[in-house]
Chain A
Amino acid sequence: MREQLRTLRLAAWLGWQLETNWASPWLFAIYMVIKPVTGSLMLVCMFYAARYATGGKVPAEFLPYLYVSNACFGLVGTVTFGLSYAVITDRERYRMLKYVFLSPAHFQTYFAGRGLARVAEGTVGAVLNIAVGLLLFSDMRQALGTTGIDWLWLAVFLAVGVVMLWAAGMILAGACLNLSRNGMFLSEGISGVVYLLSGVVFPIGVLPVWVQWVGLSLPTTYWLEGMRRALMGPVPDSAPILRGPLATWSNPELALTLLLTTAALVAFALWFWRWNERRAWRLGKLEENAGV
């Protein structure tokens, strides 16, 4: 256990160094703010464009819904993409994957550590993103200030969410162990699909019914709903457009469903990783270099 914790700590440190030490701390801080904030500002511009085009008929509550969802979803992209990209950079770029595999460090724990570094990076990005939103938009201040942040539920959803993101990242990283060329784009593509099906920038009630069911089978849908509620409270009656199929669910119901779907995801991730690790070792994929 101590050995694994040491691997976890050192891998997280290595991951953090790889992500951050290419620039001075100030430059890196600017990078951390600009990327997520401009992504959110694009959604804000879409909101104002639609409001302008409809003569102000879009409810003001739509803006914090978009903004908070997108800021939280940044974590999904950062962790899942980060983990799969760690496989690719270690194998293709630094050519260290085979040495990590040969070393006494537990291979899976090493990637869990790399994932932790991405969680830290994603959390800082999401917090900064929401802080900028609060600073710039009164609708955001109103949405987060009316009911106040429910810190207890926020902690619950964040804790389960981190495990869910790690599991999702391990599934993609496991697949990347056996994908020589396509791995880099797999997580980006999957991230786009989850962005659609989890209703990040619109309530999933807008989707065709059968697509809603696909969305409701994803833990990210429950996680985002939980995070929105913990930060902004339930959807107000003045914005019925934002009420999706989960609007009538209580927080414990949401948390329990998130927990169950996450448990299923973790079980699958553990099996899938082992299967991929064994296959990659057998086929010599751990040292295969595709020049990407």
Chain B
Amino acid sequence: MSEPPVHAVRLFFAAALARSYARVAWLFRSRTWMVQETVLPVLGVCAFAYSYRAMAAPPEYTGLVVLGASMTTFWLNVLWGMGAALYWERDSGNLELFVMSPAPMMGVLTGMALGGMTTTLVRATVIAVAGVLMFDVPIQPTSWTLLGLVFFLTLAALYGLGMMFASVFLRWGREAWHLVNLLQEPVYLLTGTNFPVGAIFPKAVAAAATLIPLTAGLDAMRQVLFRTPGIFDVWLEVALLAVLSVVFFVCARWLLARLERRAAEEGKLTVRWQ
């Protein structure tokens, strides 16, 4: 059944707000988890920072590690909090309720993204601030506005990709968990989480890697923050991130409609523990 346009828009925002509320409320209701999610990753980051120190690399390399660790939290949230979300909702029995309700699934996914962004922002900020203070990272941004713009576009593209993953993973069973697991280390390598991609990879490989929003976002932020040479000019990377955001969002919408229908036809919307 279709809703009148005004009602549909209101329903979209209501669904997004309701779904994001659950994620943000978690911030305040599960404080021990929050400590675990922020303090322990900071200690993990230290290992790579000390590795660069042992190799006597310039201080901005420690900055690359801190920035990489901070932005990686968003990638992990995209994978586990967005990609695997519908698959988990199905396991816990919520997915059938989402589908049956008049709330649009894109609204639910948008809410997941907004809630995930908010909670992850706290984690990322703690890691970044702790890393900068502990390792005395030299920060000389060329422009805070540009940095904010790059950050915003990176998140938009990343969470658009996350929405796409959510619908794709809905089709899978146990493979989804392993696939999410598999998208960690290879992506850390391709995106240059701890090293400058442009200086190590051949130009063609580095250029191809920028199709992952984390690569372009990290590279642009490093150029702005540490004035290091990048794969492309910052503004070109900004444009690329903007295009990726739109493309991923449109693809997510199309895929969600298609795969939700297919999952319903194959009876996979209510199948659990497989």
Contacts and interface: CB of A to CB of B under 8 A. Distances in A.
Contacts of A188: 40
A49 B43 contact: no
Nearest to A95: B273
A201 B47 contact: yes
A224 B263 CA distance: 47
Contacts of B196: 49
A92 to B, nearest CB: 9
B21 interface: no
A36 B50 CA distance: 21
A196 B57 contact: no
Nearest to B172: A22
Contacts of A291: 92
Contacts of B39: 189
A62 interface: yes
B36 A185 contact: yes
Contacts of B33: 181-182, 185
Interface of B: 30, 32-33, 36-37, 39-41, 43-44, 46-48, 50-58, 61, 91-92, 173-175, 178, 181-182, 184-186, 188-189, 192-196, 199-200, 273
Interface centre among A23, A38, A186 (most CB of B within 10 A): A38
16 contacts: A22-B173, A35-B182, A42-B195, A45-B195, A46-B48, A46-B195, A53-B57, A53-B61, A66-B51, A93-B273, A185-B33, A189-B40, A189-B44, A201-B47, A201-B50, A202-B47
A190 to B, nearest CB: 7
A47 B195 CA distance: 9
A235 to B, nearest CB: 13
A190 B181 CA distance: 18
Contact of A48 (B46, B175, B178, B200): B200
A183 B196 CA distance: 34
Interface string A255-290: 000000000000000000000000000000000000
B64 to A, nearest CB: 8
A50 B200 CA distance: 10
A75 B114 CA distance: 36
- Among B43, B51, B188, the most chain A Cβ lie within 10 Å of the Cβ of B51
Contacts of A51: 55
Contact of A192 (B30, B47, B53, B54): B47
B57 A42 contact: no
Contacts of B41: 189, 192
A207 interface: yes
A22 B175 contact: yes
Given A42-B185, A196-B46, A206 B54 contact: yes
Given A49-B200, A192-B41, A196-B46, A241 B54 contact: yes
A189 B45 CA distance: 11
A41 B189 contact: yes
Interface in A219-243: 241
Contact of B185 (A35, A57, A196, A200): A35
A206 B192 CA distance: 24
State which size class the interface on A falls in.
Answer: 35 or more
A160 interface: no
B43 A182 contact: no
Contacts of A58: 55-57
Contact of A207 (B50, B55, B57): B50
Contacts of B32: 182
A192 B61 contact: no
Contact of A50 (B30, B43, B61, B182): B61
Residue of A34, A39, A95, A202 with most chain B CB atoms under a 10 A cut-off? A202
A49 B57 contact: yes
A39 B188 CA distance: 8
Contacts of A202: 47, 50-51, 53-54
A225 B82 CA distance: 40
A46 B194 contact: yes
Contacts of A213: none
A26 interface: no
A49 B181 contact: no
A204 to B, nearest CB: 9
A202 B147 CA distance: 32
Contact of B174 (A22, A39, A193, A241): A22
Contacts of B186: 34-35, 38
A188 B175 CA distance: 21
A201 B40 contact: no
Contacts of A185: 33, 36-37, 40
Nearest to A289: B92
A182 to B, nearest CB: 5
A15 interface: no
A49 B195 contact: yes
